[in-house]
A and B are shown apart, each in its own frame.
Chain A
Amino acid sequence: MRFDRNARRRWMNWIMSALALLCVVVALVPLGSIIYTAVTFGGHVLSFSFLTSGYPLACSPTPSQPTCPVGGIGPAIEGTGVLLALSSLFSVPPGILAGVYLSEFGRGRLGRSVSFFTDVMTGSPSIVVGIFVYTLFFLFFGPRGVFSALSGAVALAILMIPIVTRTTEEALRLVPNSVREAAYALGIPRYRAVLHVVLSAARGAILTGVVLAVMRAGGEAAPLLLTALGNPFGFQGLTQPSASLPPIIFNFGTSAYSNQVAVAWGAALVLIIIMLCISLTVRFALRSKLS
């Protein structure tokens, strides 16, 4: 009887382990497929000049010109860099401060409503944020102010704020109370204890949240189609439309010309690689710090 039970337990153990492994595989298949497809269709266009050259013109192969120039995505990389830098500037300070408020000070009705609206913002579709920013800029700056780098950065910042806020709040809640008490017992005023001791203890997790937010914003196309729009030249000033990576993947990916489609694949691969690099850099930087 005892042996039967053991056999059953071993069987169950084996089945459950196999099931868990299967789930891992299922979760990894789409990721692997995306990377494989991007490399297959976009890998051959990658080169240094692809990262710096201008967009390709529409071109069909003809007997006199059997291959079309591929060009590059220089303007989009420049624009995405500027947009992400601006949107980080707009979203990280308010996001972190809101997280600090929720974790350290937010009691009562105001705290609860900030928390509620953060959840609502996290769940709002990016296209809706795009329409909101479009309307906002239309009202304040008129039809000529709508499509600009500034409006694009604002749209991305609105998507980033709730992510930064939530991760900051959760990171601060994980800092043990004994650390706060230690700071108070040294006669350190509360705001300084929060800024220099509690935030510093949670900085790794907060930085991870910021990176998550940047990566989310970096992959967004929908709100940018309504705001930054795109241009063939890169970043042309805050009030001018700006190029960026996700919209050109959309635009060139639906093009009828094979050289432009190839550029869309290449841009997709570059976007994946950039995100991977950001993530790895931050992980590496965190590991080398005190922890």
Chain B
Amino acid sequence: MTTALPAKTALPARTVAERSVGLAILVFAAVGPLFLNDYWVNSILTQTFLVGIAAASLIFLSAYGGMVSLAQTALYGVAGFIVGNMVTQGETKGLNLGWDPTLAVVLAILLTTALGLVFGLLAARSVGIYFLMLTLTFAVIGNYFFGQVTLVSGFSGISGIDRYTPGFIGNVVDHPNRLYYVALVVALAVYLLIRYVRRTPFGLALQGVRDEPVRMSSLGYNVPLHRALAFAFGAFIASLAGVLYVWWNGQIDPQTIGLQATIDLLVVAVIGGLGRIEGAWLGAFVFILINNYVRDIEVPLVGGSFNTIVGLIFLAVVVISPSGLMGIWDRIVSTQLGGRGGGDPPAVAESRAD
């Protein structure tokens, strides 16, 4: 620990409030399968955990690295496609290697992280809006790659992956609760890991790079390397979500990482709040609720479907509260309890390129 806090001081009221809410949500999630119906457990909450993990990788890069990345969906898809190619045995597209699922997961995470490092090294010298565009280009190229290269996927994608999971998860269709708990544990671990990493020397240097790249550079820090490593770490988190996704969904195709999905993940992160990790799961939960319950509504006056509503909500969030729902929460907490925030500035409001 480099930031030695004075021991045994009373925690601020804000921290107490947040920790109590967090703990309550965690307890609720842990006992949820006992009283919630299958639809909520399998469709809504499991999906919330895994989409939240992917969004957390985006928010991590944005909040601590000052980089809004649109490549997270592509990286998550890469991990999913690697697992799909390695574990399936015939009867679907792709390589059908039929390897051990655990080995496939480890390899998928390692390869995706390595790919993230390569992307990161390429994009590290671009900042702000250039970075956003470059990562969007990565994302769309990834989508076309899996769409065109029939050797590894092709247009229809890989299916039946949920039959090849590691032993303790078993067949996902028969034991949905096991996947639910795995997703919950991974989500919690990712959350704690990110909170840990931001306190490490690397995390602190990264936040320095976010705020004052020139000063950090003159202090002897390798700015592009820090950005690239942060991007690789983000790719690692995204790969976890990708692995969970293919188990949960059973199949993956190029549309999974298409432009729509890329934008959707950004919408999740922005609705939750680009400045705080907690926003990832909050945004995912809200987005998935809308997705599931507002599907069939015809929009009055202008016509159109669910996507028009999502777009309007997204527009409203960006215009009204750029730091998302967590930003609204922060404002409520600080007016009620006083004191300043947790030190994570809202990412959108004050980020300026160059």
A interacts with B: no
